[in-house]
Amino acid sequence: MTGNPNLVYQVNPFYGRIYMTMGLNQTKGIFKDNLKLRQAALYAINREALAKTLALGIGRAHYYPYWNEGMLGYDATLPRYDFQPDKAKVLLKDAGLGSGVDVTVSVINRPADTNAAQVLKSMWDAVGIRTKLESLERLAWIDKVKALNYEVCFWGAGPAADSDINRTYLATGAPSNWSSYSNRRIDQLFDEAGSTYDTQKRGRAYKQIQQLMFDDALLTSGYFLPGTSSYQKYVKGLITAFSGVDLKEIWLDK
Protein backbone atom coordinates (compact mmCIF):
# COMPACT_ATOMS: atom_id res chain seq x y z
CA MET A 1 0.00 0.00 0.00
CA THR A 2 2.79 2.44 0.88
CA GLY A 3 4.32 1.88 -2.55
CA ASN A 4 1.20 2.85 -4.47
CA PRO A 5 1.87 6.27 -6.14
CA ASN A 6 -1.86 7.02 -6.32
CA LEU A 7 -2.39 6.85 -2.57
CA VAL A 8 -1.62 9.08 0.39
CA TYR A 9 -0.61 6.99 3.41
CA GLN A 10 -0.65 8.47 6.93
CA VAL A 11 0.43 7.14 10.32
CA ASN A 12 -0.98 8.73 13.45
CA PRO A 13 1.73 8.25 16.14
CA PHE A 14 -0.58 9.21 19.01
CA TYR A 15 -3.69 7.19 18.26
CA GLY A 16 -3.84 3.44 17.81
CA ARG A 17 -4.06 0.31 19.89
CA ILE A 18 -2.00 -0.99 22.81
CA TYR A 19 -1.93 -4.76 22.52
CA MET A 20 -1.29 -7.32 25.24
CA THR A 21 -2.32 -4.99 28.04
CA MET A 22 -2.00 -7.57 30.78
CA GLY A 23 -3.15 -7.97 34.37
CA LEU A 24 -1.96 -10.34 37.08
CA ASN A 25 -4.48 -11.36 39.73
CA GLN A 26 -3.70 -9.46 42.95
CA THR A 27 -6.57 -10.93 44.98
CA LYS A 28 -5.71 -14.64 45.04
CA GLY A 29 -3.45 -17.25 43.50
CA ILE A 30 0.27 -17.43 42.82
CA PHE A 31 0.85 -13.73 42.11
CA LYS A 32 -0.87 -12.41 45.24
CA ASP A 33 1.71 -11.24 47.81
CA ASN A 34 4.61 -12.37 45.61
CA LEU A 35 6.19 -9.25 44.14
CA LYS A 36 9.33 -11.05 42.99
CA LEU A 37 7.30 -13.51 40.92
CA ARG A 38 5.37 -10.64 39.34
CA GLN A 39 8.60 -8.80 38.55
CA ALA A 40 10.10 -11.97 37.08
CA ALA A 41 7.11 -12.34 34.77
CA LEU A 42 7.39 -8.76 33.53
CA TYR A 43 11.17 -8.83 33.04
CA ALA A 44 10.79 -12.01 30.97
CA ILE A 45 8.76 -10.26 28.24
CA ASN A 46 10.66 -9.16 25.13
CA ARG A 47 8.45 -6.32 23.95
CA GLU A 48 10.77 -5.40 21.11
CA ALA A 49 10.35 -8.93 19.73
CA LEU A 50 6.59 -8.72 20.17
CA ALA A 51 6.48 -5.50 18.16
CA LYS A 52 8.77 -6.89 15.46
CA THR A 53 6.73 -10.08 15.16
CA LEU A 54 3.18 -8.75 15.43
CA ALA A 55 3.10 -5.01 14.74
CA LEU A 56 3.21 -5.10 10.92
CA GLY A 57 6.47 -3.18 10.68
CA ILE A 58 4.99 0.08 12.01
CA GLY A 59 4.45 -0.65 15.70
CA ARG A 60 6.75 -0.27 18.67
CA ALA A 61 7.37 -1.85 22.05
CA HIS A 62 5.11 -0.52 24.80
CA TYR A 63 5.92 -0.41 28.51
CA TYR A 64 3.42 1.84 30.28
CA PRO A 65 -0.13 0.38 30.28
CA TYR A 66 -2.70 2.94 29.04
CA TRP A 67 -0.12 5.73 28.80
CA ASN A 68 1.28 6.82 25.47
CA GLU A 69 3.45 9.51 23.94
CA GLY A 70 1.71 12.88 23.86
CA MET A 71 -0.45 12.25 26.92
CA LEU A 72 -0.15 14.61 29.88
CA GLY A 73 2.22 13.10 32.44
CA TYR A 74 3.71 10.51 30.10
CA ASP A 75 7.41 10.18 30.88
CA ALA A 76 9.61 7.72 29.00
CA THR A 77 12.37 8.16 31.62
CA LEU A 78 10.31 6.43 34.31
CA PRO A 79 11.52 2.91 35.21
CA ARG A 80 10.20 0.12 33.06
CA TYR A 81 10.39 -3.64 32.75
CA ASP A 82 12.97 -4.14 30.01
CA PHE A 83 13.68 -7.61 28.71
CA GLN A 84 16.09 -9.16 31.23
CA PRO A 85 15.60 -12.95 31.18
CA ASP A 86 18.55 -13.67 33.48
CA LYS A 87 17.17 -11.26 36.05
CA ALA A 88 13.77 -12.91 35.68
CA LYS A 89 15.32 -16.30 36.51
CA VAL A 90 17.03 -14.87 39.60
CA LEU A 91 13.80 -13.24 40.78
CA LEU A 92 11.94 -16.51 40.22
CA LYS A 93 14.47 -18.27 42.43
CA ASP A 94 14.25 -15.51 45.05
CA ALA A 95 10.48 -15.96 44.99
CA GLY A 96 10.99 -19.56 46.09
CA LEU A 97 10.19 -20.95 42.65
CA GLY A 98 13.61 -21.96 41.37
CA SER A 99 12.20 -25.14 39.85
CA GLY A 100 9.64 -23.11 37.91
CA VAL A 101 5.94 -22.39 38.21
CA ASP A 102 2.78 -23.19 36.24
CA VAL A 103 0.66 -20.28 35.05
CA THR A 104 -2.56 -20.06 33.03
CA VAL A 105 -3.09 -17.07 30.71
CA SER A 106 -6.72 -16.35 29.78
CA VAL A 107 -7.30 -14.46 26.53
CA ILE A 108 -10.16 -13.58 24.22
CA ASN A 109 -10.34 -15.86 21.19
CA ARG A 110 -9.27 -13.37 18.51
CA PRO A 111 -6.06 -13.28 16.46
CA ALA A 112 -4.44 -10.24 18.11
CA ASP A 113 -4.68 -11.85 21.54
CA THR A 114 -4.05 -15.49 20.67
CA ASN A 115 -1.01 -14.62 18.54
CA ALA A 116 0.47 -12.50 21.33
CA ALA A 117 -0.28 -15.26 23.82
CA GLN A 118 1.74 -17.75 21.78
CA VAL A 119 4.73 -15.41 21.71
CA LEU A 120 4.39 -14.69 25.43
CA LYS A 121 4.30 -18.41 26.17
CA SER A 122 7.63 -18.95 24.42
CA MET A 123 9.21 -16.16 26.49
CA TRP A 124 7.83 -17.30 29.84
CA ASP A 125 8.54 -20.97 29.22
CA ALA A 126 12.17 -20.03 28.56
CA VAL A 127 12.68 -18.65 32.09
CA GLY A 128 10.70 -21.31 33.96
CA ILE A 129 7.21 -19.81 33.96
CA ARG A 130 5.46 -22.77 32.38
CA THR A 131 2.51 -21.27 30.54
CA LYS A 132 -0.84 -22.77 29.66
CA LEU A 133 -3.03 -20.76 27.28
CA GLU A 134 -6.79 -20.53 27.70
CA SER A 135 -8.69 -19.00 24.77
CA LEU A 136 -12.27 -17.93 25.52
CA GLU A 137 -15.22 -16.38 23.73
CA ARG A 138 -15.40 -12.69 24.64
CA LEU A 139 -18.39 -12.83 27.01
CA ALA A 140 -17.01 -15.91 28.73
CA TRP A 141 -13.68 -14.12 29.19
CA ILE A 142 -15.43 -11.07 30.69
CA ASP A 143 -17.39 -13.25 33.12
CA LYS A 144 -14.22 -15.07 34.14
CA VAL A 145 -12.04 -12.06 34.81
CA LYS A 146 -14.79 -10.05 36.52
CA ALA A 147 -15.31 -13.01 38.86
CA LEU A 148 -11.53 -12.87 39.56
CA ASN A 149 -11.31 -16.47 38.37
CA TYR A 150 -8.02 -16.08 36.49
CA GLU A 151 -4.25 -15.92 37.03
CA VAL A 152 -3.19 -13.78 34.06
CA CYS A 153 -5.43 -12.08 31.51
CA PHE A 154 -4.84 -9.57 28.77
CA TRP A 155 -6.75 -7.41 26.33
CA GLY A 156 -6.37 -4.52 23.89
CA ALA A 157 -6.53 -0.87 24.96
CA GLY A 158 -6.52 2.51 23.27
CA PRO A 159 -4.64 5.59 24.52
CA ALA A 160 -6.85 8.46 25.62
CA ALA A 161 -6.84 12.10 24.52
CA ASP A 162 -6.90 13.21 28.18
CA SER A 163 -4.95 11.34 30.84
CA ASP A 164 -7.85 11.68 33.30
CA ILE A 165 -9.78 9.16 31.19
CA ASN A 166 -7.33 6.53 32.44
CA ARG A 167 -9.20 6.51 35.75
CA THR A 168 -11.88 4.43 33.95
CA TYR A 169 -9.22 1.76 33.41
CA LEU A 170 -7.13 2.03 36.57
CA ALA A 171 -9.24 3.28 39.49
CA THR A 172 -10.56 0.75 41.97
CA GLY A 173 -13.88 -0.64 40.75
CA ALA A 174 -13.82 1.39 37.50
CA PRO A 175 -16.00 -0.02 34.69
CA SER A 176 -13.13 -0.80 32.31
CA ASN A 177 -10.68 -1.98 34.96
CA TRP A 178 -10.61 -5.48 33.51
CA SER A 179 -8.22 -7.14 35.93
CA SER A 180 -9.72 -5.41 39.01
CA TYR A 181 -6.40 -3.72 39.72
CA SER A 182 -6.58 -1.65 42.90
CA ASN A 183 -4.19 0.82 44.50
CA ARG A 184 -5.90 3.34 46.78
CA ARG A 185 -3.07 5.85 46.41
CA ILE A 186 -3.64 5.82 42.64
CA ASP A 187 -7.33 6.52 43.28
CA GLN A 188 -6.33 9.53 45.39
CA LEU A 189 -3.93 10.81 42.73
CA PHE A 190 -6.63 10.67 40.06
CA ASP A 191 -8.90 12.67 42.38
CA GLU A 192 -6.14 15.22 42.98
CA ALA A 193 -5.41 15.58 39.26
CA GLY A 194 -9.08 15.88 38.42
CA SER A 195 -9.61 18.66 40.94
CA THR A 196 -7.26 21.20 39.31
CA TYR A 197 -6.72 22.95 35.98
CA ASP A 198 -2.99 23.28 36.74
CA THR A 199 -1.36 21.07 34.08
CA GLN A 200 1.92 20.86 35.99
CA LYS A 201 0.18 19.51 39.09
CA ARG A 202 -1.86 17.12 37.00
CA GLY A 203 1.24 15.92 35.15
CA ARG A 204 3.07 15.24 38.42
CA ALA A 205 0.12 13.21 39.70
CA TYR A 206 -0.01 11.13 36.52
CA LYS A 207 3.73 10.45 36.72
CA GLN A 208 3.28 9.23 40.29
CA ILE A 209 0.53 6.92 39.09
CA GLN A 210 2.82 5.38 36.48
CA GLN A 211 5.55 4.93 39.10
CA LEU A 212 3.14 3.17 41.44
CA MET A 213 2.02 0.90 38.62
CA PHE A 214 5.65 -0.05 38.05
CA ASP A 215 6.17 -0.69 41.75
CA ASP A 216 3.09 -2.92 41.98
CA ALA A 217 4.10 -4.99 38.92
CA LEU A 218 0.48 -6.02 38.38
CA LEU A 219 -0.11 -4.47 34.96
CA THR A 220 1.99 -4.31 31.82
CA SER A 221 1.66 -4.02 28.06
CA GLY A 222 3.30 -5.47 24.98
CA TYR A 223 3.29 -3.33 21.85
CA PHE A 224 1.62 -0.30 20.32
CA LEU A 225 0.20 -0.28 16.80
CA PRO A 226 -0.45 3.29 15.58
CA GLY A 227 -3.55 4.29 13.70
CA THR A 228 -3.18 4.47 9.92
CA SER A 229 -5.20 5.79 7.01
CA SER A 230 -4.83 5.77 3.25
CA TYR A 231 -6.78 7.47 0.51
CA GLN A 232 -6.61 8.47 -3.15
CA LYS A 233 -4.57 11.58 -3.90
CA TYR A 234 -7.59 13.33 -5.42
CA VAL A 235 -9.26 13.32 -1.97
CA LYS A 236 -8.68 16.77 -0.45
CA GLY A 237 -9.46 18.35 2.90
CA LEU A 238 -9.18 15.18 4.92
CA ILE A 239 -7.81 15.80 8.41
CA THR A 240 -6.29 13.08 10.56
CA ALA A 241 -7.64 13.62 14.07
CA PHE A 242 -6.71 11.95 17.36
CA SER A 243 -9.37 9.27 17.12
CA GLY A 244 -9.57 8.83 13.36
CA VAL A 245 -10.28 11.10 10.41
CA ASP A 246 -12.30 14.31 10.12
CA LEU A 247 -14.44 14.32 6.95
CA LYS A 248 -16.28 17.63 7.40
CA GLU A 249 -14.19 19.54 4.83
CA ILE A 250 -13.54 16.72 2.38
CA TRP A 251 -13.81 17.27 -1.39
CA LEU A 252 -12.68 15.52 -4.57
CA ASP A 253 -10.26 17.11 -7.02
CA LYS A 254 -11.09 15.09 -10.14
Radius of gyration of the chain (CA): 20
Which pTM value belongs to this model?
0.89
Q: What are phi and psi of 194, to 5 degrees?
A: -75, -5
pLDDT at 241: 66
DSSP 197: -
Closest CA to 209 of 169, 241, 154: 169
SS3 234: coil
Q: What domains does the chain contain, in order, with CATH numbers?
A: 7-252 (3.10.105.10)
> How confident is the prediction along the chain (254 residues), in pLDDT tens digits per residue?
567 888 877 777 667 788 999 999 999 999 999 999 999 999 999 999 999 999 888 889 999 999 988 899 999 999 999 999 999 999 999 999 999 999 999 999 999 999 999 999 999 999 999 999 999 999 999 999 999 999 999 998 887 889 999 999 999 999 999 999 999 999 999 999 999 999 999 999 999 999 999 999 999 999 998 777 777 888 888 777 665 677 788 888 88
Contact 223, 63 (CB under 8 A): no
